[in-house]
């Protein structure tokens, strides 16, 4: 049996050793700011403590699933008359002859007199255990669980780790997933750090973390599953489908269905690197709010291809975003740190933890993106870097023919910002070389069935 402790952590530790890029240790206390970053209290919502009353019930802000009224009146019913019988408000209502008042909740019409009946408390059930993967996770408890997703070639079970942190107080359920592409490691470390930092005692709500969704790929340093399928093209999956579809089904039904919101963590793919960015279908207000809550990077509109986890979650009514940062096969300290701060910002925004948001700079939105492709074969030398602003006609790179010494330039047809670029220098016509974020006023969908270079 594979367990969270024996396989992934050991593998992660080994990668930590060889990488040399990951900062040592994880702070238990507040976040350590990277150079140039500053804590900001004025661009985000108020400190979570300001929106939690003494009982930890959310009184305002995004996380308003908890009952607003201590009397337990469901949302929308707390406008029931609060006046005592014969009080001035009741008289006012009577005099106004409010047409809806006879049938209004909490009122009884008796021979011309209005008697106000106190509303019956109808609060949600008490905050209790989370039932997941056949276990109960009690409030204040952290449990390392496992989900059997498939079997190995030897017939033994393949289980992925799932960590559930059940807060002591009521709140939303935020899910963190990483490693859907087994060679994308930054997200694995972001999830590990978040699990390491978060205490159930101070948490309002629940965090469900899946640090390595594609364990097959992770063990083989591969983006894919053993059948060469991309797991992130088969959600929500099928119980009797192909291998990828079955694994997607197990994850979606047993974990994702529990989520109120989802952050899926990725990197660029195949010798490409991404400027840290949130990708989401910004036509959905829930996704846009979640993207803004992350607050740590640029936001890119993308509707999400069919079969991606975030698209499937979104279709199931779960706001979902992905954090794309850096490149595969590496642990990159700055990209990881930025991701940890972003997830933490979301927790603060949702009222799940107390603290201040961390401002990591401008949160610019790009409503459209386009790839610029090579027109000639040869060796590409980049003339721009990730994050550079470019204008139409700017030279992005130069392609040199190593045999005949021919030279051609790659010119940007767009004004925007470089949000992704190729790292391997070898080009043939049609290779996607530079990904440009294009500003605008409203989301523009690109055809994902044509764009095979989407990284997620």
The CA distance from 20 to 18, in Å, is 6
Angle between helices 333-349 and 186-197 (to 10 degrees): 50
Rounded CA-CA distance 206/88 in Å is: 44
Q: Which stretch binds Zn ion (CB under 5 A): 40-48, 264-272, 330-338, 364-372?
A: 264-272
Residues 113-142 close enough to bind Zn ion by CB under 5 A: none
Q: Which of 169, 170, 181, 261 binds Zn ion (CB under 5 A)?
A: 181
* β-strand pairing of 395-400 with 378-382: antiparallel
Smallest distance from Zn ion to CB 214, Å: 9
Q: Give the residue among 66, 176, 74, 173 at the shortest CA–CA distance from 130.
A: 173
Task: Give yes or no for residue 357 binding Zn ion (CB under 5 A).
Answer: no
Residue 350 has φ and ψ, to the nearest 5°, of -80, 0
Distance CA 116, CA 97 (A): 15
* Gap between the Cα atoms of 159 and 142, Å rounded: 19
Spell out the residues 6+ positions from residue 153 whose beta carbon is closer than 8 angstroms to its own.
Answer: 226
The answer to whether residue 272 forms part of the interface with Zn ion (CB under 5 A) is no
> Least separation, in Å, of the C-beta of 183 and Zn ion?
9
* Closest approach of Zn ion to the CB of residue 328, in Å: 8
How far apart (Å, rounded) are the C-alpha atoms in residues 406 and 3?
Answer: 54
Number of residues that bind Zn ion (CB under 5 A): 3
Q: Which residue is nearest to Zn ion (CB)?
A: 266
* Shortest Cβ 180–Zn ion spacing (Å): 6
Residue 300 vs 350, nearer CB to Zn ion: 300
Nearer to Zn ion, 261 or 266 (CB): 266
Alpha-carbon 255 to chain mean position: 14
Q: In what order do the strands lie in the sheet with 395-400?
A: 407-411, 395-400, 378-382, 426-427
Choose one: 8-16, 143-151, 180-188, 234-242; the region binding Zn ion (CB under 5 A). Answer: 180-188
Stretch of 176-184, 254-262, 343-351, 385-393 lying at the interface with Zn ion (CB under 5 A): 176-184
How many beta carbons lie within 10 A of that of residue 86, not counting itself? Answer: 12
Binding status of residue 266 toward Zn ion by CB under 5 A: yes
- When the beta carbons of 169 and 272 are compared against Zn ion, the nearer one is 272
223-262 mask for Zn ion (x: CB under 5 A)?
----------------------------------------
Of 270 and 431, the one with the shorter C-beta distance to Zn ion is 270
Spatial CA neighbour of 202 closest among 138, 139, 295: 139
Which stretch, 27-35, 178-186, 278-286, 393-401, contacts Zn ion (CB under 5 A)?
178-186
**Which chain residues interact with Zn ion by CB under 5 A?**
181, 184, 266
């Amino acid at each position: 049996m594979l367990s969270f402790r024996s396989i992934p952590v050991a593998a992660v530790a080994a990668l930590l050793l060889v990488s040399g890029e990951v900062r040592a240790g994880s702070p238990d206390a507040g976040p350590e700011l990277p150079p140039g970053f500053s804590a900001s209290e004025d661009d985000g919502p108020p400190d979570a403590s300001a929106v939690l009353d003494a009982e930890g019930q959310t009184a305002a802000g995004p996380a308003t699933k908890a009952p607003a009224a201590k009397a337990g009146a469901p949302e929308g019913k707390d406008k029931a008359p609060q006046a005592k019988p014969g009080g001035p408000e009741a008289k006012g209502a009577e005099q106004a002859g409010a047409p809806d008042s006879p049938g209004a909740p909490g009122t009884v019409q008796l021979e011309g007199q209005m008697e106000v009946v106190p509303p019956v408390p109808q609060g949600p059930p008490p905050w209790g255990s989370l039932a997941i993967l056949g276990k109960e996770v009690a409030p204040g408890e952290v449990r390392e669980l496992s989900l059997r997703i498939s079997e190995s070639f030897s017939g033994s079970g393949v289980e992925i780790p799932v960590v559930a942190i059940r807060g002591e107080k009521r709140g939303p359920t935020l899910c963190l997933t990483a490693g859907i592409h087994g060679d994308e490691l930054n997200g694995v470390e972001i999830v590990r750090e978040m699990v390491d930092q978060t205490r159930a005692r101070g948490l309002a709500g629940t965090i469900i973390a899946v640090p390595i969704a594609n364990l097959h790929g992770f063990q083989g340093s591969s983006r894919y599953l053993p059948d060469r399928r991309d797991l992130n093209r088969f959600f929500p999956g099928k119980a009797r489908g192909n291998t990828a579809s079955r694994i997607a089904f197990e994850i979606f039904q047993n974990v994702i269905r529990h989520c109120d919101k989802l952050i899926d963590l990725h990197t660029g793919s195949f010798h490409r690197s991404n400027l840290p960015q949130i990708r989401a279908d910004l036509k959905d207000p829930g996704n846009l709010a979640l993207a803004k809550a992350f607050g740590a990077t640029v936001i890119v509109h993308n509707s999400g291809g069919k079969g991606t986890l975030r698209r499937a979650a979104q279709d199931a009514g779960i706001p979902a975003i992905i954090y794309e940062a850096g490149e595969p096969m590496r642990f990159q300290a700055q990209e990881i740190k930025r991701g940890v701060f972003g997830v933490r910002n979301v927790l603060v925004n949702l009222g799940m933890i107390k603290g201040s948001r961390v401002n990591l700079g401008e949160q610019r939105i790009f409503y459209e993106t386009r790839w610029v492709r090579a027109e000639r074969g040869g060796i590409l030398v980049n003339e721009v870097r990730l994050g550079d602003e470019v204008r139409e006609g700017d030279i992005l790179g130069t392609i040199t023919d190593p045999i005949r010494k021919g030279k051609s330039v790659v010119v940007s047809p767009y004004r925007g910002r470089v949000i992704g670029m190729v790292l391997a220098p070898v080009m043939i016509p049609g290779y996607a070389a530079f990904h440009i974020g294009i500003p605008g006023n409203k989301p523009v969908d690109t055809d994902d069935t044509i764009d095979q270079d989407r990284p997620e």
